[in-house]
Structure 1
C-alpha cells in the first residue's frame, strides 16, 4: 500500500470512529521512567508514539509518572486508562491490544567469579535468579526456575558479587543505565542475551479501556507503516520493532 492510500485509510478511520463512547477526551496513562523512552517531564520515545496514535483522533494524552508496580496497580484499580510497556499477558486483569510498540532485549547478568556459565535459557534451571518485582519473567522462560523479586535495580550488582544470586534477568537498557549511574566495572560481570520480549499498552478493564484498545489496534494497522511514525523511532536512535 502506498503512502497516499495509507493516509486515506487513516482519514476514513477517523470518520468511522468519530462516534466515540468516551465523553472525556483526555486520556491518562501511568508509566515508570526509562532513559529516553519515558521521561519524568512526559517526553520520550514511547510517549511520542502514544500521542501519535491518539492525538489525530482529537484526544489529549498525559502520563502519571510513578514506579512500575504503582503504574500497574493504578490500572487494576481503574484510576487511569492503561499503563505503558507491559509484556503480553504479564497480568491477568488488563486488556491487551494486538499491536506492540517496541521490544526489548532481556539479558542475564552474572558475576565473573560466581562460577556461572550461561549457554541458553536451560542453564538458568536450578539457579538462584533475581529480577525486578512485578515483571513476572518466569512465564516467558521455557523452563521452571527459582527466583526472587527485588524492588530496586541498584541492588543487583552487590547481590551477584556476594553470591546471594546467580543471575539477574532484566532489560538490557535498564541494566546499562544502572551500570552508568552506579559506575559499575563491567569487566566484573557477564552479560548474556536471553530473549526478546515485545512491549504493549495494557488497558484498564473498562468500557473506556476497551474502546482505547480497539482504537489503538485500528490505528496501528496502518500507522506503523507510515514514514512519519517510523521516523519517531529514528529520531530517538531506536530500531523499528516491526521489521
Structure 2
C-alpha cells in the first residue's frame, strides 16, 4: 500500500517501527472521539464500522470511545492525517510519511501479489517484472517495494486492474492479495494466475501533534497488553486474512 522503505517478508518476523521521542502522557485516555481515515477493504474496513480492523480498534480503545470514520482513497487517507484533518490512518508503510507517528508494532502484513495471464508473463523473481507493462493500485507503489524500476500505471479500483489484465491491455497487475480475493472469487479469475510475491508490514499512522502522541502511546500500550494476555491472538485467529507478528 506507496512510496516506502520496507522489509520484504517471506515469513513472519519481528518488526520494530522507527519512532521518535514523544512527550510523557498519562496512561488514562482522555480523548473520547477519534477520527479515523481508511479505504474500504472487504472484510477489514466495511462501511458502518464493520470488519476485522474495526474489531481490533474497538478491542484496544475504551468502550465509550466514539469513532468517526472517513472512507476514501489511500492517498487521501494519509494526506488528511498529515494535514491534521483526522487522528488516525490505517495501513501505513514503515517509512510512508515523516509527518505521522507510527504504531510501535505493525498490526498486519500486506500480501503483495501479481495477477497475470500465464501465456504473457514469465518471471523467477519480482525484479524480473521490470520488463513488463504493469498496473498497480493507486498510491500503493508496490513496484518500488519490490525493487522494480520501471513505472507502472495506477488504477483506482481492483476491478479495473483485473479487466486490464484480462483484455490484454497490460501484462500484469500488482495487487494486495486479500483485497483482490475480497472483490473477486476464484471462478472470476480462472483465466488468470495469482502469485504471492512478498509481505509488507503495515502500521497505524497517528496525527503528529499532542493528540496523536496520546493516541499512539495508548495504542502501543494496549497492543502489547492484549498480546501478553492472549486476546490479540484470539482476535487474529478469527480472521484468516490478518497476520499478527510476534513480539
2:54 is matched with which residue?
47
Residue 112 of structure 1 corresponds to 118
Q: Higher RCO, 1 or 2 (CA under 8 Å, sep at least 6)? A: 2
1:70-105 residue CA offsets vs partner (Å, 9 max, x unmatched): 322321221110111222222342221221111131
Are 1:31 and 2:41 matched, yes or no?
Answer: no
Q: Which string of whole-angstrom CA distances, capped at 9 and with x for unpartnered residues, describes residues 147-195 of structure 1? A: 11111211112212333222211111111223239x62x2311111110
Distance 2:85 2:116 in 1: 38
Name the Cα RMSD after superposition. Answer: 2.4
Say whether the 8 Å CA contact 1:112–1:189 is kept in structure 2.
yes
Tell me, what secondary structure is at the counterpart of 1:224?
A: helix
Q: Which residue in 2 is equivalent to 1:230?
A: 233
Structure 1 residue 140: Cα displacement: 1.5
Q: Distance in 2 between matches of 1:123 and 1:25?
A: 49
What is the rounded CA distance, in whole Å, between the counterparts of 1:189 and 1:86 in structure 2?
29
Structure 2: stretches of 5+ with no match in the other structure:
1-24
1:48 is displaced (CA, Å) by 1.2
Q: Which has the higher helix share?
A: 1
Select the structure of larger CA radius of gyration. Answer: 1
Q: Which residue of 1 aligns with 2:105?
A: 99
Paired position in structure 1 for 2:154: 149
Verify the 8 A CA contact 2:114 2:173 in the aligned structure 1: yes
In the aligned structure 2, how far is the partner of 1:136 from the partner of 1:63?
24
Q: Give the Cα–Cα distance (whole angstroms) in 2 for the partners of residues 158 and 240 of structure 1.
A: 29
Name the TM-score, length of structure 1 as normaliser. 0.81
Aligned to 2:206: 203
Q: Which segments of 5 or more consecutive residues in structure 1 lack a partner in the other structure?
A: 1-14
CA deviation profile, 1:21-75 (whole Å, cap 9, x unmatched): x5x421121112212211101021111111222217x644342233333322321
Compute the displacement of 1:236 (Å): 3.2
Distance 1:110 1:63 in 2: 34
**In the alignment, what sits opposite 1:66?**
72
What displacement does 1:227 show?
Answer: 2.2
Alignment: residue pair count: 222
Change in 2 beyond 3 A, CA 1:237/1:178:
closer
